[in-house]
Amino acid sequence: MSAPEEEFEKTETYGGPEITLTPDQEAQYAQLTRNLQEVTSAEIVRKVLSKGEVVKCYWGTATTGRPHIAYCVPLLKIADFLAAGASVKILLADLHAFLDASKSTLETVKWRAKYYSFLLKAMFITLGVPIDKLQFVLGTSYQLTAEYTLDVYKFHSLTTAKAAGHAGADVVKQSESPLMSSMLYPGLQALDEQYLDVDFQFGGVDQRKIFMYAAHFLPRMGYAKRAHLMSPMVPGLSGGKMSSSDPKSKVDFLDSPSEVKNKLKAALCTPGEVEGNGVLAFLRHVLIPVQQLRHEQAEARGEEPPRGEGSFVKPSAPSGTIFTISRPEKFGGDIHFPSYQAIEDAYAKEELHPGDLKTGVTDAINGLLAPIQKMFESDPEWQECERLGYPDASTANAVASAKQGAGDKAQPVKTKPPKDVRRAPPTEEERAALRAQKDQEKAVKAQAAAAAAGLNMTPEELKKRDATAANVVPNSGRANASAGSSSSARSSEALTTTDMPRLKLLTKGKVRDVYELPDSEDKDKMLFVATDRISAYDYIMENGIPQKGATLTTLSLFWFHKLSHIIPNHVLVPSISGSKPKCLDPSTSAWDEFPKSLAEYRDQVEGRSMIVRKCEVVKIEAIVRGYITGSAWAEYKKSGTMHGIKLPEGLVESQKLPEPVFTPSTKADLGDHDENIHPDKVKDICGEKLAKQIAEVAVRLYSEAAAYALERGLILADTKFEFGLLPDANGEKQLILIDECLTPDSSRYWSAATYRPGQPQPSFDKQYLRDWLTQNNLKKAGVTLPPDVVAETKAKYEDARDRVMGLGKHA
């Protein structure tokens, strides 16, 4: 049933009727397909455009070697796709990276995927491309599902090892006796077209064989054939393909100005020769398109093309210049070019010296890299990803070494040598010795932790205590939910009511009990305790969800920390400062950060509590919706509006909205119902200036969180933020983020892999509970949840936490 490689590599000719497009649609098609080397099955794209629908595409990159500056080529083309109105997904293909023999181990591939995410976003920002229009998808977020795995088996039942090897010949490392992983790689890339639900896949022309492999076999599985758009390959500086595996052929995004200068100095650049000239090729395919994009962006804004710093054109250049090359006055001074062709012509006639060409390209590259490197240097989390993903060539290590050489007392960054995944397995004796060594290390650490907590217990007693706890709590895939273990956090009983008589109860919400701290110096602080209560449709259920409070607290602390660069928050204890807060490490406890006056209530506080600043609460629930669902969908079906905002006709349930929309509601007291209101009414509650600030901040928080969640395989459909006001040093009221943040109680999370617009979506939040209540006509007070609903709700909350934070099986 399989086809030989020469059969699937043929390009089929479209024999159907001519597909006529309107002038605007032709302009869209032209922008989608310009500056490409090849387009196959173009009729698929034209059919979608002719129907007035949004064209959907994806570009994937295996997170193996360090990305180099030639990545600008696909990113620039993605900018074209976005400008043409296409929906673009970027696949961070972590599983493909592991399968590509010898390039990555499982230990490093997850860090490399995160590194890629940081870098690609930084590059898009540098190019002026809005990242809120993009969807970043992690391969393992759907490639490990049962449905996808079954399709992998089905796909490979249709093909042969010879055909699979031929398909991946230009991409996957080959040998006389290839690993089976390299045989699977092309088939997985083909299936990604189906699972990412796109009309075309985009990539370099080196992907052509895989593209044709997909076009041949997907229809044989009953799936649609896709179009394929291919960009030219950028030659390396020394000739041949620019490759991550050849440092001399490429410029790394983190190369220093001197490294860039040295690489360009050594680049192949024969006087007068254009063919095979790596420097000219780089200028043609990377730098000139970057400058053209800047010109188009400026024109769209009604501005003059950019000049001076951050541009490739000097301020003194004449109008129409696209690239300036600096030369000493004794050699004729600066030279300005209106196009790439003018540069090539001057070089071919030897009017432009190789040294001057290299100088101009060096200056342009360093100018392009500077803002990206500045973002890297200011982001410890990105640096950590680079250090762990590329331990043998880490810039973070180089920075640490440079500091030490300058007299800095910082310790050198330790790195683990990459594991040889194909070494011989350990013997039983070696396994036993390793287990004994690990047990001894655990015992020593546990006894030290116990001593620090004031517990006089032997290793044997600690082991017995932990074994007892393990029998009480089902394994959630995480060692600990938040700030250390506790009897409450380990209990299978839900904590629905707190009882702390020595503390003054300030307020009791739907989920949280808020107390005044007993110490006089803490009068400006409050203790937030997240109970296991759960509410839906503004009614609190009679029974709770075990561990829910700990799960909510952990997720809130995670998001408060991650989004703190956008807006301050009310969290004081546990500390969420620094790149790796102690409270977010499942192997440690942050209980020692809490005041000793709470020690007698440790079983009710630990793992589920925060000490926060007192502030003036803004009586608005700042809801942001990126997809139409829930009460917004119900309103839209009746009136075509959402919170009174008119929406386009023809939307379907769960459809992504063109832009995230601020849809506030009133903040009701306990027992009352929140009321959806039009955004314009917010100013009547808190004033026009504050209303505008809340709307802008809420949308920005949602957009950044949604982009991150998508990398973790989750769609953040909507969420609710709450804000407070706190006097700053000048006595001015400062807006801060309060309450909880992006938890399953306040947000709807969906699986990106199973997302299908036009229907309700399975969720990782309390939508499951809402649906159960609706189906059973129980939208009322006094409802006791049956054990199966409790268990399923608990599992969904913990799965959301683990997916967002990369814990357990999602690590």
Query: Is the CB of residue 382 less than 8 Å from the CB of residue 394?
Result: no
CATH of domain 247-378: 1.10.240.10
Q: CA 229 to CA 232: how far, in whole Å?
A: 10
Query: Is the CB of residue 718 less than 8 Å from the CB of residue 630?
Result: yes
3-state SS string for 500-533:
CCCCEEEEECCCEEEEECCCHHHCCEEEEEECCC
Query: Is the CB of residue 553 less than 8 Å from the CB of residue 530?
Result: yes
Domain ranges for the chain: 5-231, 247-378, 441-472, 487-613, 618-810
With a cut of 50, list the residues of the chain below it in pLDDT: 1-6, 396-431, 449-457, 459, 461-491, 670-671
Q: CA 595 to CA 451: how far, in whole Å?
A: 18
Q: CA 370 to CA 374: how far, in whole Å?
A: 6
- Torsion over CA of 530, 532, 536 and 542, rounded to 10 degrees? -130
Tokens 């993903």 correspond to 389
CATH domain 487-613 topology: Phosphorylase Kinase; domain 1 (3.30.200)
- CA 392, 394, 399, 400 torsion-angle sign: negative
Q: CA 231 to CA 683: how far, in whole Å?
A: 50
Query: Is the CB of residue 649 less than 8 Å from the CB of residue 639?
Result: no
CATH domain 5-231 topology: Rossmann fold (3.40.50)
Bridge partners, residue 718, by sequence = 625, 748
Confidence at residue 391, expressed as pLDDT on a 0 to 100 scale = 79
Q: CA 683 to CA 503: how far, in whole Å?
A: 37
- pTM exceeds 0.75: no
Question: CA–CA distance from 250 to each of 6, 111, 162, 361 (Å)?
Answer: 33, 22, 32, 13
Q: CA 720 to CA 510: how far, in whole Å?
A: 15
SS3 563: coil
Residue 97: other Cβ atoms inside 10 A:
25
Query: Is the CB of residue 599 less than 8 Å from the CB of residue 513?
Result: no
| Nearest alpha-carbon partner for 110 in 389, 518, 402, 374 | 389
Q: CA 187 to CA 167: how far, in whole Å?
A: 9
What 8-state DSSP symbol labels residue 159?
A: S
| Nearest alpha-carbon partner for 740 in 483, 545, 549, 565 | 549
Confidence at residue 695, expressed as pLDDT on a 0 to 100 scale = 96
- Reported as a single tens digit per residue, the pLDDT across 428-472 is 444 455 555 555 555 555 555 444 444 444 545 444 444 333 333
CATH domain 618-810 topology: D-amino Acid Aminotransferase; Chain A, domain 1 (3.30.470)
Q: CA 115 to CA 711: how far, in whole Å?
A: 12
- For residue 685, give both structure tokens: 């509650």
Q: CA 557 to CA 484: how far, in whole Å?
A: 14
| Nearest alpha-carbon partner for 622 in 554, 705, 713 | 705
| Nearest alpha-carbon partner for 191 in 218, 169, 210 | 218
Q: CA 737 to CA 680: how far, in whole Å?
A: 21
Residue 584: CA count within 13 A, CB half-sphere: 21
- For residue 10, give both structure tokens: 């043929």
Q: CA 377 to CA 699: how far, in whole Å?
A: 27
The pair phi, psi for residue 729, each rounded to 5°, is -60, -25
CA 640 to mean position of chain CA atoms: 32
CA 687 to mean position of chain CA atoms: 35
Confidence at residue 174, expressed as pLDDT on a 0 to 100 scale = 61
Tokens 């074209």 correspond to 80
- For residue 468, give both structure tokens: 């007892």
Q: CA 512 to CA 243: how far, in whole Å?
A: 54
Residue 566: other Cβ atoms inside 10 A:
14
- Reported as a single tens digit per residue, the pLDDT across 275-284 is 888 899 889 9
The pair phi, psi for residue 625, each rounded to 5°, is -115, 130
